[in-house]
Structure 1
Amino acid sequence: MTGSFFLDWATLAVSLVNVILQFWLGATVLLNAERRTWGVWLTGGGMLMGTAFFVIHSTILGYGLSVFSSTLNFWWRVGWIPVIALPFVWYVIMLWYTGYWDDRTARWPRQQRGRLALAFGGLVGLIGWLALASPLPSFTEVVMFRFSAAAQINGLSLFLVSYPLYIILCLGLALQALRHPLASERLMGDEGRRRAKPWLVATTIVMLLVSLLVASVIGWVLLNVTRGSIILDLKMMGVIIAGFDLVISSLIAIAVVLLGQAVVSYEIFTGKTLPRGEFQRQWFNAIVLAVGYGAVVSWSLTLQMRAIYTLLLTTLLMTLFFALLNWRSYTWRDRYIRRLRPFVTSQRLYEHLLAPSTAPPDEVDSTTPFKALCEDILGVQQAMLTPFGPLAPLVQPLAYPTTRPLPALPPEMLSNLQPEKICLRLDPHHNDGLLWAVPLWSERGLIGIFWLGQKWDGGLYTQEEIEIARAGGERLIDTQASAEIARRLMSLQRQRLAESQILDRRTRRVLHDDILPQLHTALLSLSAMPGVNGANAEAIDTLTQAHHQISDLLREMPKSPAPTLDRLGFVAALHRVVADEFPNAFDAVTWQIEPTAEAHLRSLSTLTGEVLFYAAREAIRNAARHARDPASTTPLMLEISVAIQDALLICIKDNGRGIQSPKPMGSGQGLALHSTMLAIIGGELNVESVADQFTRVRITLPQSPNLQSPISNL
């Protein structure tokens, strides 16, 4: 190399940075492209071609300018192929990106054809000249500033003079193409082009500066060679050339970073509708890797360390980078979880479902998760969530940060909505500053639209952000609609239960107070009639049987409504049920009540206490009706226990024939209904039974059920 440690180290480090960044960009574009068209292949191939040039460049730097060999001469000539091709490739890429190949019948593409032919002619001419005529001096001759072997006019190398003009032509045409882009057929393509244009223009300008600098260096060298005033000190020449090389390589690295920023920020070459946030983070990681790796490896090579030490350094560096990458990944994961926590926490659907029907409807808290979604995750200045379709009457619109008039999509845009379209561009002047409409879908079709305004940072929404907005909006609408449907069904069920109880009581009253007295009066009238014949006797028997059946039915029905839990308490009310409804059903009843459990029962809400009470009463009723075996002489015993273990436990056990007896035992729908009611409040009902031995019903409830909304007795 030059003998200057810092100059040699910096030159090789920048060259390695260019190798890594261009290779990463080329491979990333090819691997992440939505459709690998010829333009994508050309873009990725152009970046890989730049990688190949800097691989050759790093190889030459590794050998040093003072080492002359056939290997360096080979790399010197091969390296000119990507150097010649890259300016034209960049020009063609800009034509493809700005839409030239999409509509070549337009006025601007027709004007561009002659310029494209001129640039292509320059490419073919230079490569053909390089391949057939050997217009360049060898690497040894270049270092010694001997150009006599090259084609010259008046001492000037024609090839070295033509090449800078060719670069300026290609890059100038690329800048002109960027100034006049055509309309994009891709969704949000025009927006992406508009935002990426400054980066691409800056990249082209930097490359144009590189070409001008290269032309200046070549002109300076050729001018001094022709005048014979070139400094013959090879060491000094090496330092000068290395300095120019460092500046040019640094400018190329800046151009690569600018191009990479456009690629990862707006997905300009991959064909994606929206950029991805993870893509940008990976690009930042690639820059860190390139700078760190280039600095360490070039330092070891410049010091001419043994190969084993260089290998160990690169191994440690890769391991450190991998550890840092994992650390950053966990950091991002924790940050996302922290931002999503308000959005995924419980919305207290049980409380909403079990709210009393007499109270005003309590909406599910969707404002907090919606605010977290808009403020912490999307970073949007304003947003709205409006329901559509059959769920619209069940869901209230949401707005951030304040309520605003509901926007409306044009009918033609609304009719063309498809699940494949993740978002639609809006005119902010006609939609109160809203820029994007994200349609929300379910199996039922369109269920809502998420309206998004400008982001606080002014950037473009990433694909992940739109997908999160879509999934979050669909979840909020589904949750609100499901909770409201369940609340209405629960209210309807309460109404039906109340009506059923009123009907049962009315039936008992009518039978007891009206029907039975009338039957009794009819029996007395018929019995008092003189000359009772066979027909009258048959009528009297029929009325008597009907009277007995109705009387038996009234005796089997509860003599009074269920005791009021608020007045008696759970245990006393259950005592009243056994004493009043089933006085002769059991030979003995054993009660095992823990005082702490009884106190805990009194602290429960009215609804929770009623659900537990009716489930226990159903278990006692089943035991009274079905447990006794007429063929058995064993006394029927009933054990009722209430205790607190890991949870509140109510156990009802009898020593009867069990529910597995072959004799009919009922349909079991009662316990199934109460199991469902217990599940709603967080409880559980389990039945254990052994034929001809016992049946045990266990009702459990967590000690701290989060149910505090009292309701009136049904």
Structure 2
Amino acid sequence: MTTDLEIFICSVFIFLSTNLFWLGSTTGTNLERKNAASYFSIFTLIVSSLLFSFSAIVGQNGFLVVSSFPILYFFPGLILLILIPFGWFVVIVWFFGFLKKKGIFLFLFYILAFCQLVAITILLIYNPGKTWNISLFEYWKFVPFSFKFAYLVYIFACVFLSLFCLFLFQISDNSLSELGRQKAIPFLKLIGFSLLGVVSLVSVLFVGEEFGIIENLILKAEKEPEYFYGFVLCIQLLICISILVLGWALTSYEILTGRILPKISLKQEWKNSVYTSFALSSLYFVFAKLGYPRAEIPIVFSYSFFLSRFFTMRKNKQVSSDQNEVLKRILSSGSVKLSFGYLCKDVLEATKAALIFQGKIPYISDTNIYYPENTPTETFDFSKIDPNPENPNIQYLDKDRFSDFVIRVKIESVLTGDAYLILGQKENGGLFAEEEIEIAQVTGTWLVHSLFLEETGNILEELQRKKIQEQRLSDQKTRQILHDEILPEIHSLILEISNDKSGNLDSQHANSLTELHKRISSLLREMSDTGLEISRLGLIPMLQKLQDSEAKDSSLIWEIDPNINSQTENYPPEVQEVLYYAFRESLRNAVKYSGESKSRIKIAIRYENGLFIQIKNEIGKDLISVRSSGQGLKIHSALLRIFQGSLTLEFPNSKEAMIRIFLPSSQI
């Protein structure tokens, strides 16, 4: 029976060691908040796993043999027994942010850390047998009650303070990170109570005899080890509960990694780890019963497996991170040519490449992109190339016939017809992988659509710019005809009728013509030419004049760069007119939503690599209604984009709104 219990205890140690090593390696793989506390948490998990592995390997020899080993063998384990409770305390106070608050828990952190140093120092100095070769059993007899009691107080303080933190924690807001911590608390409380149970059982083993609770089971274990093994199994059961719950909390809420959103795959991986650990423990139990107790075999196997998994995942994570960076550069480059260059250089690693269009839209068909950009333009005849029977979208080329191009990939696009990606050899002289070709096809399709939208946008902007110029000329021509041709002719007729003495011309007609002349003259005065006014007075004075017509009851505070007038004169007339109307709409919007208080409106105009206008006002209405308004601002924002300018509406806080207008100097 004693042998069966020893085998079972070693099996449980293997189970605990394997799962703890998985938790440590997984935390290291997914770690995001890289600081001293997080690394210490990983260290605690790993050394706990090593401690249980050592216990399994040594314990398979039986209690009598183990107790006769020199104490020197167990010295590292004694140090770990001091570090591990402190590690759990650090995990809790770090995860829930108590260390950052610099309060009582930070003070307790330093106190417990100092206690560790004192305890380790005592272990190094205290040598009752004057030699490190005395047995573990003899060493335990010499350990004084005060040291055992102090150790129990220390581990009780670590566990109790950790549990106390869980009851003190309150979420500061309803963000995902805070809600995740709150949902993890019940799991961590269960772990805390389980560890308190472990502390209680260890206390009974250590000082139960001194308090008259129970006989010293450790000394009694030499003759009757069953009771001692029973306590060990109870301790192992509570530790198993703690580790299983910790694994569930880590995979559900990422309590140790610092991630806000956990990975779905971790839950299944944790289940697989538990199943694997149970299988290894069971195999050890079976083989040990058959007379082959080799705990080191399942431990080495599990460590090797999880270490290889750890480095593989770290490598994959690094590769994925690099690919994401490349993808970000491709998507956010702002230029199809730059994106194509990133694709060829960082993803495909091609020495040269070309994106050739055979589209239905004329201006797309004439646009070809090359990498590097200085690659000379060439025309190839691909009609004589035999199609690839396995994949008709890929054709292999003779590099001597096609200027070092080796592969042609078809990119289908319903919008513009067909496009082809022609690739040269890889920089390292290798072959293109199937995944690289698939990425090239997908990215190439996106590039074709982006180029279509870019070219279409450029054409539409050019058409809109011409339309604005033509409309302006048309308005000027209409005013000129009314003023220079029609009004003088009407005026001549009025004079002719008025001077007629024969009576042939009716005075009533003269009055009608006079009234018509007044109406047309009034209409011309009302149809003031904003462009002419801007060119006569200047853009900035015209903006300031809007205070009288658009913001009579508001207090406008102007901050204008004294040299701004000379800068704005260089903008074309149609651009100044668009800026004027955009500013007028922005000012109206600020006045409208300032509310009944008619608060002050601050207007800043300066030149920073372009004309910059900022209008800031306090919000006198509900923020939601302000956000949902501003259709006029959207229209003027679109007009400014024609000239590469921008108009944005921002809310620095719930009481302020800010409009920014910017036109770059490149338009000058």
TM range (shorter): 0.3 to 0.5
Could you state the TM-score of these two structures normalised by the residue count of structure 1? Answer: 0.41
Larger Rg: 1
> TM-score normalized by structure 2?
0.44
